[in-house]
Chain A
Amino acid sequence: MTDQSEPSDRLLGALVRAARPAPPLPPRFREAVWQRLESAQAPRRAASVAEWLDRAAAWLLRPGLALAGVAALLLVGTAIGVVQGTNLADERAKQQYLTAVSPLTNR
C-alpha cells in the first residue's frame, strides 16, 4: 500500500501547494523582524542598568571606600581653597600697595 500511495501523496502535495500559493512577504519584512527581536531584548538592557546602579551604590557605600572618598574630597577642597586664597591674598596685597602709592589708581 505504501508503495502505491507515495507517488499519489507527492502529487497531492504538489497540487495543494499549487492551489494555495504562499503570499509575497510584506515590504521591509526582515527589518521588522529585527526590530521585534531588539525590542524583546530591551527590558533586559534596562534591567542591566538597574543592576549596575545597585552595584555602584553598594560599592560606594562600603565604609572603607566612603572614608577614603571623604578624605580625598577634603584634600581636593583644601587644595582648591589654598590656591584661590593665595591668589586672593596676592590681589589684596597688590591693592594695598596701590592704595598707598597711587591715589589716582582705578580700583
Chain B
Amino acid sequence: MRRSLLILLAIGLASAAIVGLTSALARHLCAQHLVRPGDDLAWLRREFGLRQSELERIRQLHEGYLPRCREMCERIAASKQDLQAALAASNGLTPETEQKLAEVGALRAQCQAQMLRHFHEVSQAMPPEQGRRYLTEMQRLTLGFHEQFEDTMSRNEAGPHGHR
C-alpha cells in the first residue's frame, strides 16, 4: 500500500510539473512572438478589429502626434527641473517657486488636452462603436489615475489634508 501511495504521489507531482513547465514555456514563446516591439499600433488593430485602411489613417495620425508629444514631454521635464532647482534654492515656498509650480501644472494640462484631441481624432478614424469604446478606454487609462487619486482624497474625510 505504501509503495502504491508513493507511486501515485510521484505521478501527481510529475503531472503538475509537466503542466507547469509546458505552460510556462508556451506562455513565454507566445508572449514573445505576438508582441512586435516596433509596432505601437498592434494592440489597437487587435483590440478594435481595425481594417487596413483604418489602420493606415490611424498610423498617419499617430506619427503626426508623436513629435508633438515628445516636445511636450521635454518641456514638462525642463519645467520640472526648473521647479526643483527653485525649490532647492529657496527655503520655503516663494512667489518664484509658486510660479514654477503653476507652469508645470499648465504644461501638464496642455499635454492632456493635446492627448485628448489626438484620442478624439483617432476615434473618428474608427467605426463609430469602436471609436466610442476607444475614447472611453483611453480617457479611463489616461485620466483615471488622477480621478482615482482625487476620489480617494475627497472620500477620506479624516485624511491628513482635512478636505470635506
Inter-chain contact A100/B66, CB cutoff 8 Å = yes
Inter-chain contact B18/A96, CB cutoff 8 Å = no
Inter-chain contact A85/B40, CB cutoff 8 Å = no
Interface residues of A (CB under 8 A from B): 49-50, 53-54, 56-58, 60-61, 69-70, 73-74, 76-82, 84-86, 88-90, 92-94, 96-98, 100-106
Count chain B residues whose beta carbon lies closer than 8 angstroms to a beta carbon of A: 51
Given A80-B19, A85-B30, the answer on whether A104 and B111 have CB atoms closer than 8 Å is: yes
Interface residues of B (CB under 8 A from A): 1, 3-5, 7-8, 11, 15, 18-31, 33-35, 37, 40-44, 46-47, 62, 65-66, 69, 72-73, 76, 108, 111-112, 115, 118-119, 138, 141-142, 144-145
Main secondary structure of the interface of A (DSSP, over half): helix
Inter-chain contact B31/A85, CB cutoff 8 Å = yes
Q: Which residue of B lies closest to A55 (CB)?
A: B4
In the assembled complex, the Cα of A102 lies from the Cα of B1 at a distance in Å of 63
Inter-chain contact B35/A56, CB cutoff 8 Å = no
Cβ–Cβ < 8 Å partners of A74 in chain B: 18, 22
Given contacts A53-B1, A78-B23, 4 further A-B contacts (CB under 8 A): A53-B8, A96-B37, A96-B42, A97-B44
